[in-house]
Amino acid sequence: MLISFRSFGVFLIDKATDLVKKASIEKKNMKHLKISLLFLIVVSFSACEAQKQIRTTSCISGGEYDYLNNYSPGTICHAETCELYLAIWKSLFMEQNNLPDSYFDNHIELVHSQIANWNDGVSFNVCYKVKVGWAIAYSCDQFMIKINQDNKFYPALNLPRGTYLSKDQVKMIVSNKAFFSDIIKLSDVDNLKFTSMSDALTYLVTKAKVNTLCSGMVTINNITGNLELEAWAQYDNEDNSCIQGRIDLMTGETVVEDGPCWIN
């Protein structure tokens, strides 16, 4: 009888040990199950958030260089006064932007120059294309070359009236942006970060977190002097809501802004 009781006690201890082991295994399995479920929830949430961040857009794409059709070809003025101030413009343009002659020869194409009379006097205007790799930007500069005798504006500059201005006087006018005079800032970087317009546009689309953008035009940033590609699109199913983006073709920096497509 004593042996039977002892055997029964051993049996109970063994059963209790099995139950403890089973409970431990189930607890561990539950822990693994909870971790797996939490992982699935996080992945699903991240996927949903990523999907939400990509807003669908649409736009009508034209040719890559269609924007150049907005500028008339123009003509180069070869009158003596035109030639004089074209030379002055080139000299100031090169000095202001620290450009070597080789940069001008390889990347600047003159397309228009003229002398224009207006209320304050006579101005010289010049338009040109800046070509770096596949990128082409169109720009125009102008400055006063003769101030009317009775003009009273900008007296502090102490400029002569009624006579054509010298290079140093033109430089003073441009530096002060007097009489709407300006020569654009242009960087001396002569290579692009992107191999094509399509390549640059694809990069900008990724940064903008949309499905598509249409290229607008290549411009010159008035602060850095670098060439930029502008692009845009309209948000689908969003009334009067558009996106505009710019990408620096030399550095890859991007700027993306939302705004109305039109203002009533």
The model's pLDDT over 78-112, given as tens digits with 9 standing for 90+, comes to: 999 999 999 999 999 999 999 999 999 999 999 99
Domain that holds residue 174: 71-180
> Based on the domain organization, do 160 and 204 belong to the same domain?
no
- Entry pTM: 0.78
Rounded Cα distance, 164 and 159, in Å: 10
CATH code of the domain covering residue 212: 3.10.450
Please report whether residue 185 resides in a domain.
no
Q: Is residue 49 part of a domain?
A: no
Claim to verify: residue 158 and residue 79 sit in the same structural domain: yes
Q: 208 and 53 in contact (C-beta within 8 Å)?
A: no
* 163 and 200 together in one domain: no
Which residue matches tokens 């004593």? Answer: 2
226 in any annotated domain: yes
Percent of the chain residues past pLDDT 70, beyond the cut? 79
* Position 130 in a domain: yes
Q: How far is CA 258 from CA 85, 100, 227, 238, in A?
A: 42, 39, 22, 12
- 86 in the same domain as 161: yes
| Per-residue pLDDT tens over the stretch 190-243 | 999 999 999 999 999 999 999 999 999 999 999 999 999 999 999 998 999 999
When pLDDT is averaged across residues 251-257 and rounded to a whole number, the result is 97
Say if 125 falls within a structural domain.
yes
**Is 226 in the same domain as 206?**
yes
Asked which of 134, 155, 180 is the last residue of a domain, the reply is: 180
CB 141 within 8 A of CB 184: yes
Taking alpha carbons only, the member of 185, 116, 190, 105 closest to residue 146 is 116
Burial of 207 (0-12, 13-18, 19+ CB in 10 A): middle
pLDDT digits 0-9 by tens, 123-166: 999 999 999 999 999 999 999 999 999 999 999 999 999 999 99
